[in-house]
């Protein structure tokens, strides 16, 4: 499978560092061996910037491995770093009467659980989001290659935003299946006082109470939250990078230093992060409440009247 994907990757338009559509204007007279030169015609070509030295070949196994490693670092480490904030956020979502705001939530948590209480759920967060990042970033590049070869070179450029959306949605579908068990354990640890303090305590207890359903009942709400989030993140990021180089950066990307390119990447990522957080927030609340309550379903969370029956 991976050898065929690698073959497609080498032939697809994303193999070039900068893909752009070039209108050549008058490309020259049309001529044929049988007659005189015809009128000039317009031609449309796909051109790429000069090939530079890269650490690995696009579409190679090393390339996908590095993408997966980047996903682990960008998702696993960053989500683990903000566990205290995530813990307070989840508690605000499931018990808004008690936790009325961010600062109030931190104050109550510190008073009841101490400083160590702010780290509850760090293990399932690190494991779950590392697995999610591995699948998200790795499969995104694979699906981008596969879909671009289905469209063809020119259509890939013309419909690149749709391609980003489709590839990211496909990647996130599988990434959430990898994330769901750890997300369920994390929410139980963080939002149910006295239930469990560690992943080793929570996982066996959840399995004993509800079986495998305890770990995967939240996968549909996860799709509701993460697929729009990831579609917005990747599509917005890719197009923001294009816009920054076109309208803001005073020189072509090929002439920018590594540091300058990193700044552009950071700015584009920050802008994309703001938009995707807004898109995913409603479903995020559903995931928190669903994984907190034993035996609950997504429909019961979305329709409070059903929960009281």
The answer to the question of residue 189 being in a domain is: yes
For residue 42, pLDDT over 50 is answered with no
For residue 5, pLDDT over 80 is answered with no
**Interacting residues of 19 by C-beta distance below 8 A, sequence separation 6+:** 13, 46, 48, 156, 157, 160
137 compared with 45, residue with greater pLDDT? 137
**Interacting residues of 150 by C-beta distance below 8 A, sequence separation 6+:** none
Per the structure, the count of domains in the chain is 1
For residue 121, pLDDT over 60 is answered with yes
The answer to the question of residue 35 being in a domain is: no
58 compared with 137, residue with greater pLDDT? 137
The answer to the question of residue 201 being in a domain is: yes
What is the rounded (10 degree) CA torsion for 126, 170, 162, 233?
A: -10
For residue 34, pLDDT over 50 is answered with no
Q: What is the predicted pLDDT for the residue at 267?
A: 95
The answer to the question of residue 25 being in a domain is: no
Instruction: Give percent of the chain above pLDDT 90.
Output: 58
The answer to the question of residue 48 being in a domain is: no
Enumerate the H helices of the chain as residue ranges: 2-11, 61-71, 78-81, 83-94, 102-113, 122-151, 153-158, 160-191, 199-210, 213-216, 219-243, 258-292, 298-302, 304-307
For residue 33, pLDDT over 50 is answered with no
For residue 307, pLDDT over 50 is answered with no
Identify the burial level of 1 via C-beta atoms within 10 angstroms of its C-beta, where 0-12 means exposed, 13-18 middle and 19 or more buried.
Answer: exposed
Q: How far apart are CA 88 and CA 105, in angstroms?
A: 6
Q: How far apart are CA 76 and CA 69, in angstroms?
A: 10
Question: 233-287, pLDDT tens digit by residue?
Answer: 999 999 999 999 999 998 888 899 999 999 999 999 999 988 887 877 666 565 5
The answer to the question of residue 270 being in a domain is: yes
- Quick one: pLDDT band at residue 7, thresholds 50, 70, 90? low
For residue 105, pLDDT over 70 is answered with yes
Q: What is the predicted pLDDT for the residue at 296?
A: 56
* Domain with 237 in it: 58-307
The answer to the question of residue 21 being in a domain is: no
119-133, 163-177, 242-256: least confident range: 242-256
14 compared with 67, residue with greater pLDDT? 67
CA distances from 92 to 85, 86, 181, 210, 291 (A): 11, 10, 22, 25, 14
For residue 32, pLDDT over 50 is answered with no
CATH of the domain at 302: 1.50.40.10
Radius of gyration for the alpha carbons in the chain, expressed in angstroms and rounded: 24
The mean predicted confidence, pLDDT, of the chain is: 81
Q: What is the predicted pLDDT for the residue at 289?
A: 60
The answer to the question of residue 4 being in a domain is: no
Taking alpha carbons only, the member of 123, 240, 121, 134 closest to residue 192 is 121
Q: What is the predicted pLDDT for the residue at 30?
A: 43
29-38, 192-201, 239-248, 296-305: least confident range: 29-38
Taking alpha carbons only, the member of 66, 69, 43 closest to residue 54 is 66
CA distances from 285 to 84, 213, 302 (A): 17, 19, 10
**Sole residue written with tokens 């491995």:** 65
Q: What is the predicted pLDDT for the residue at 60?
A: 84
Helix (H) or strand (E) holding 246: none
Taking alpha carbons only, the member of 65, 90, 68 closest to residue 225 is 90
């Amino acid at each position: 499978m991976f050898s065929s994907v690698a073959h497609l990757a080498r032939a697809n338009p994303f193999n070039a560092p900068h893909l752009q559509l070039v209108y050549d204007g008058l490309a020259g007279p049309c001529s044929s061996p049988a007659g005189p030169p015809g009128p000039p015609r317009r031609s449309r070509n796909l051109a790429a910037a000069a090939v530079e030295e890269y650490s690995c070949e696009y579409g190679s196994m090393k390339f996908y491995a590095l993408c997966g490693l980047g996903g682990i670092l960008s998702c696993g480490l960053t989500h683990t770093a903000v566990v205290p904030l995530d813990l307070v956020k989840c508690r605000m979502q499931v018990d808004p009467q008690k936790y009325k705001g961010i600062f109030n939530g931190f104050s109550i948590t510190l008073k009841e659980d101490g400083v160590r209480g702010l780290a509850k759920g760090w293990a399932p967060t690190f494991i779950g989001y590392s697995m999610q990042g591995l699948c998200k970033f790795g499969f995104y590049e694979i699906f981008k290659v596969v879909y671009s070869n289905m469209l063809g070179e020119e259509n890939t450029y013309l419909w690149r935003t749709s391609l980003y959306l489709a590839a990211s949605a496909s990647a996130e579908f599988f990434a959430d299946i990898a994330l769901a068990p750890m997300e369920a354990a994390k929410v139980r640890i963080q939002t149910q006082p006295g239930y469990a303090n560690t992943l080793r305590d929570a996982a066996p207890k959840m399995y004993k109470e509800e079986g495998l359903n305890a770990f995967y009942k939240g996968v549909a709400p996860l799709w509701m939250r993460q697929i729009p989030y990831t579609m917005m993140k990747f599509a917005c990021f890719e197009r923001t990078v294009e816009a920054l180089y076109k309208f803001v950066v005073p020189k072509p990307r090929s002439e920018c230093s590594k540091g300058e390119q990193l700044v552009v990447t950071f700015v584009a990522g920050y802008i994309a992060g703001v938009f995707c957080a807004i898109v995913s927030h409603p479903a995020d609340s559903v995931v928190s409440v669903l994984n907190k309550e034993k035996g609950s379903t997504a429909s019961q969370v979305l329709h409070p009247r059903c929960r009281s029956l």
